Amino acid sequence: MSSDKDKIQNLLKRVPLFDELDELELQKVAAGTSEQRVRRGQAVFHRGEPCNGFHIMVYGQIKLVAVSPAGAEKVVRLLGPGESFGEALMFLGKPYILSAIALADSMLLTVDKSVLFQELESQPLLARKMIAGLSKRLHAFVSDVKSYSLHSGTQRVIGYLLQASEAAGDPELRLSVSKNVIASRLNLTPEHFSRILHDLSSRNLIRVEGRHITILDEDGFREHMG
């Protein structure tokens, strides 16, 4: 058991949120942290279940989704290594309002809220970091709403591809998730998303080969985005 906690402690050291904690403080957080492995397609949690802590991605990919009464799925957020989720509901003491589903075999850490709250009382810097992270996420959410309201579908797709290209440092991209998932994330139907890709391809702005997309004319791409 101690070796498991040592492993968790070493993983927590790599999380920017905890990089100011000393060894004893990390041990306390590790004692209240559990490791969870989920296979592709499995749920980490479902909407309505109690939120007793927050989660940190170690590897893999998770989607946070809202599901309508009719069964339609809306992807709200895609999560990769190093990202965290569940903090806001943990502080509010509310159950999950979304479901979390693994898009790939994944591993995450769940930090128990009672242990975290004890550390927050004695670690103002840790509290500031959590507030900063939540504020950054709120800003991203407001930007999403603004994008959906003011930008066309084509502008959203171009913005997504440019952001992915800049993050990869390469005009040749391989989509890490299915086109249906990306379409949902951009608030588009899969059919609309495919039409936009076809239109951009016909204008020789991109080349599409399955999940591989190459930006052929970045200046034209940005100009087309307006």
The answer as to whether 121 is a domain residue is: yes
The answer as to whether 182 is a domain residue is: yes
Where is the domain boundary, 66, 97, 131? 131
The answer as to whether 144 is a domain residue is: no
Same domain? For 52 and 96 the reply is: yes
Where is the domain boundary, 101, 131, 161? 131
- pTM beyond 0.85, yes or no: no
The CATH number of the domain where 192 resides is what? 1.10.10.10
Query: What is the longest distance spanned by two Cα atoms in the chain?
Result: 59
What DSSP line would sit under 47-104, residue for residue? TTS---EEEEEEES-EEEEEE-TT--EEEEEEE-TT-EE-HHHHHHTPPPSSEEEESS
Same domain? For 80 and 179 the reply is: no
Overall number of domains in the chain: 2
pLDDT in tens, the chain (226 residues): 557 788 898 888 888 788 778 888 888 889 899 999 999 999 999 999 999 999 999 999 999 999 877 778 899 999 999 888 998 899 999 999 999 999 999 999 999 999 889 888 888 888 888 888 788 877 777 777 776 676 889 998 998 898 888 888 888 999 888 899 999 889 899 999 999 999 999 999 999 998 899 999 888 888 877 6
Residue 131: its H or E element: helix 124-150
Same domain? For 118 and 31 the reply is: yes
Domain range for 17: 2-131
- Closest of 207, 225, 208, 224 to residue 216, by C-alpha: 207
Token pair 């299915």: residue: 178
The answer as to whether 146 is a domain residue is: no
The CATH number of the domain where 61 resides is what? 2.60.120.10
Give the dihedral sign, CA 122/124/129/133: positive
The answer as to whether 57 is a domain residue is: yes
- At 123, list the tokens: 């670690």
